[in-house]
């Protein structure tokens, strides 16, 4: 299973993208939580001031935005994500439909075949451009 990140500006244009390796032993929701954590760490390293973090895993989005304590497996990473969000009031986590997340899903497929983490700043993979445009159309029509 692989983590994928697509960071966009206010216009929906790509700022950076990444594919990251993950353990194949994780279930999907655990992988989504770890991917969100890695995204937040990368945004922190790049000193991103304002961030709207989007994910298509509704259960993870609800868990990190909830005030309830999580006792299920992976609850610690949810707690860590909440802690980082508490320290960054300009960061938000929102749900996005899978149809508006084609670029990230494409990167997830690439992440399955790589051996090391890859990050692209601004200019990403050429094959992402058409998917970015499709995502922008779906996001604007929502």
Between 90 and 1, the higher pLDDT residue: 90
- What average pLDDT does range 118-141 have in this prediction? 73
From CA 107, how far away is CA 87, in angstroms rounded?
A: 29
**Domain residue spans of the chain:** 2-141
The CATH number of domain 2-141 is 3.30.420.10: yes
Q: pLDDT grade, residue 25 (50/70/90)?
A: low
Question: Across the strands, what pairs with 55?
Answer: 95
Give this prediction's pTM.
0.75
Higher-pLDDT residue of 2, 136: 136
User: pLDDT value at position 3?
Assistant: 66
Residue 1 above 60 pLDDT?
Answer: no
């Amino acid at each position: 299973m692989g983590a994928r990140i697509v960071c966009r500006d206010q216009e929906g244009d790509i700022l950076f993208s990444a594919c990251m390796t993950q353990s194949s032993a994780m279930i999907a929701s655990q992988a989504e939580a770890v991917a969100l954590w890695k995204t937040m760490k990368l945004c922190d390293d790049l000193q991103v001031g304002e961030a709207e973090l989007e994910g298509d895993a509704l259960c993870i989005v609800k868990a990190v935005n909830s005030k309830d304590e999580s006792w299920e497996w992976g609850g610690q990473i949810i707690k860590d994500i909440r802690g980082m969000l508490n320290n960054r009031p300009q960061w938000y986590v929102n749900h996005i439909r899978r149809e508006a997340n084609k670029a990230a899903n494409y990167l997830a497929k690439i992440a399955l075949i790589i051996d090391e983490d890859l990050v692209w700043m601004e200019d990403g993979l050429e094959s992402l451009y058409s998917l970015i445009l499709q995502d922008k159309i779906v996001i604007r029509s929502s």
